[in-house]
Amino acid sequence: MAEMVKKSTGKCYLEKAPHDFGELLEIVAILRDRDEGCPWDSVQTPESLKSCLANETDEVLAAIDSGDHGNLLEELGDVLFQVLLISRIASERGWFGFDDVVQTISEKMIRRHPFVFTDEERDPDVDGAELWRRIKEREKYL
């Protein structure tokens, strides 16, 4: 296969080349481009992607159940792509960007694990799921 350079970025995107998270974000942006992107990806909405996200999530669960690590790897990527695609659409609409998603989940994980990220003592008689539920319930009243 000949090397193809994306005109809008001047960059070459090859399937088997090493890729990082920043490049994945570029790929999502290119796919969403109405002129040079994918006709399917460029017209999707959060609403139209609901069934895709549900299907990909079901496939992750099936891969976990089957113990097929190769399939799990692929399906986790598909779920990540759905998250990035919906985040990109949200950014295009001025709702929020992917960085906001990262910030929000980081804050939540820190807040819901005070015994890990602060000096707060963890009650050894309370299991993790119950502690999570209690903290989540407390958040409703903040």
How many CA atoms are closer than 13 Å to the CA of 115, on its beta-carbon side?
A: 10
pTM for the predicted model, two decimal places: 0.86
At 96, is the secondary structure helix, strand, or coil? coil
The pair of three-digit structure tokens given for residue 120, joined into one six-digit string: 């707060």
Angle subtended by helix axes 69-92 and 50-66, to nearest 10: 160
Domain ranges of the chain: 1-43, 44-95
- Rounded distance, CA 32 to CA 136, Å? 35
pLDDT of residue 102: 98
Number of residues written out for the chain: 142
pLDDT tens across the length of the chain (142 residues): 556 666 667 788 888 889 999 999 999 999 999 998 999 999 999 999 999 999 999 999 999 999 999 999 999 999 999 999 999 999 999 999 999 999 999 999 999 888 889 888 888 888 888 888 888 888 888 6
Residue reference for tokens 């970025």: 9
Residue 121 backbone phi and psi in degrees, to 5: -80, 140
Distance CA 15, CA 34 (A): 22
